Amino acid sequence: MINYFSKYKFIFYLCNLIIIFLYLFPGSVLGWFLYKDLSLQPRITPDFIVSTNHLYTYMVLSAVGFLTFRKNNQFNILSIYLIFLSIVLEILQYFIPNRSFEFQDLFGNLAGVIITIILFYFFKNNENFKN
């Protein structure tokens, strides 16, 4: 399973393109697809301090990325890229019609990336300890 992602890097690149499209589209593509209304945003779970939809999205994207690029130097570069992507995409929503910048979404993005970085860091150290 782990080698599957490293062999097929297009999965990570496709996930990036899908997220960029969903973030920068004026309105909610998922809301239009599910509810036939561009103004409705589907919710997976209720929000607390952070946007849970954004948290789950960036946890999945980060996990796919870290399974794809497993080397130490790639891990650091990918971590910086994911943090940068989460900030830039949220800031760009400020300038897009029918979209809005929200700190709750930004914190959800960052929390998803940071939680996944911490989990993969511990798994990577545990893997090195066994060898």
Burial category of 122 from C-beta neighbours within 10 Å (exposed 0-12, middle 13-18, buried 19 and up): exposed
Choice among 57-61, 94-98, 120-124, 127-131 with the minimum mean pLDDT: 127-131
pTM: 0.85
Amino acid at 13: Y
Average pLDDT on 84-105 reads 91
Which pLDDT score, from 0 to 100, does residue 131 have? 46
Does 12 score more than 60 pLDDT? Answer: yes
pLDDT band at 119 (very low <50, low <70, confident <90, very high): very high
The domains of the chain are located at 2-130
Average pLDDT on 8-27 reads 90
